[in-house]
């Protein structure tokens, strides 16, 4: 009796884990969209663009992330975090750590195509997606 119950329990657990893994992988692929590297053809007057451009708000499972970029004569001069992930103390901690690194990388490369900060993948992906959408909006 006892052994059979344990075997059934183990098998049942394996099924639960298998299903959870499949479901988890499915939603994971949808929600962790990598930064869209959609390089839109740069307009000819790119170098004359100036101003502040807000990126799209990207939602992650730890809350939404939104940035705006400050552009002067076609050059990104600053990235300001409007909103960072705020759900879960640990993710706030990670966001606060990742944001300055990502900002520096974006300013250096003048693009959203930079590597994400390890350990803060969700924040990084959302941050860079938002930067990309702001760049698209600015048309630089």
Partner 1 sequence: MAETIVGSRLSTPSKGHEAGYRGRARVGDLLVIALWVSSAIAVGLFLVSGGTARFGSVADAVTSFGIVTGLVGTNFVLAMLLLAARVPFIDRAIGHDRAIAVHRALGKPAFFLLLGHGLILLIGYGLASGINPVAELAPLFAIPDMWLALAGIALMAVVIVSSLAAVRHRVSYETWHLIHLVSYIAVLVSIPHQLSIGSVFLPLSFERAYWLVLYLLAFGAILTHRLLEPLVSSIRHDLRVDRMIEEAPGVVSIHLRGRRLRSLQATGGQFFVWRFWTPGTWWHSHPISLSSAPTDTGLRITVRELGEGSRSISAVKPGTRVWFEGPYGVFTDAGRTAKKLAIVVAGIGITPVRALIQDSQLLPGEASILLRASTPDDTFLWSEIEDLARDKHIAITTMIGKRSSSGPGWMTEDAARAGMTLKGLFPDLAESDLYLCGPTAWLTLVEADARAAGLPDHQIHAERFDW
Residues that bind partner 1 (CB under 8 A): 1-2, 4-6, 8-10, 12-14, 16-17, 19-21, 23-25, 27-28, 31-32, 61-62, 87-91, 93, 97, 118-119, 121
Please give the structure tokens belonging to residue 20: 């959870």
Q: Closest separation between CB of residue 90 and partner 1, Å?
A: 5
Measured from the CB atom, is 87 or 109 closer to partner 1?
Answer: 87
Taking alpha carbons only, the member of 88, 85, 91, 70 closest to residue 126 is 85
Measured from the CB atom, is 28 or 100 closer to partner 1?
Answer: 28
Q: Closest separation between CB of residue 20 and partner 1, Å?
A: 3
Q: Closest separation between CB of residue 113 and partner 1, Å?
A: 20
Rounded to an integer, what distance in angstroms lies between the CA atom of residue 63 and that of residue 84?
A: 7
φ/ψ of residue 62, rounded to 5: -105, 15
Q: Closest separation between CB of residue 50 and partner 1, Å?
A: 37
Measured from the CB atom, is 2 or 44 closer to partner 1?
Answer: 2
Measured from the CB atom, is 25 or 44 closer to partner 1?
Answer: 25
Which strand (E) or helix (H) includes residue 61? none
CA atoms within 13 A on the CB side of 62: 23
Over the Cα atoms of the chain, what is R_g? 20
């Amino acid at each position: 009796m006892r052994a059979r119950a344990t075997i059934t329990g183990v098998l049942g657990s394996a099924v639960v884990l298998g299903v959870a893994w499949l479901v988890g992988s499915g939603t994971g692929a949808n929600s962790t969209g990598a930064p869209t590297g959609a390089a839109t053809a740069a307009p000819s007057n790119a170098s004359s663009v100036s101003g502040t451009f807000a990126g799209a708000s990207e939602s992650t499972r730890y809350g939404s992330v939104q940035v705006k970029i400050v552009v002067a004569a076609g050059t990104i001069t600053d990235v300001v975090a409007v909103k960072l992930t705020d759900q879960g103390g640990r993710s706030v901690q990670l966001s606060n750590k990742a944001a300055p690194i990502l900002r520096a990388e974006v300013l250096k490369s003048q693009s959203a195509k930079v590597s994400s900060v390890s350990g803060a993948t969700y924040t990084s992906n959302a941050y860079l997606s938002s930067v990309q959408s702001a760049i698209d909006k600015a048309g630089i």
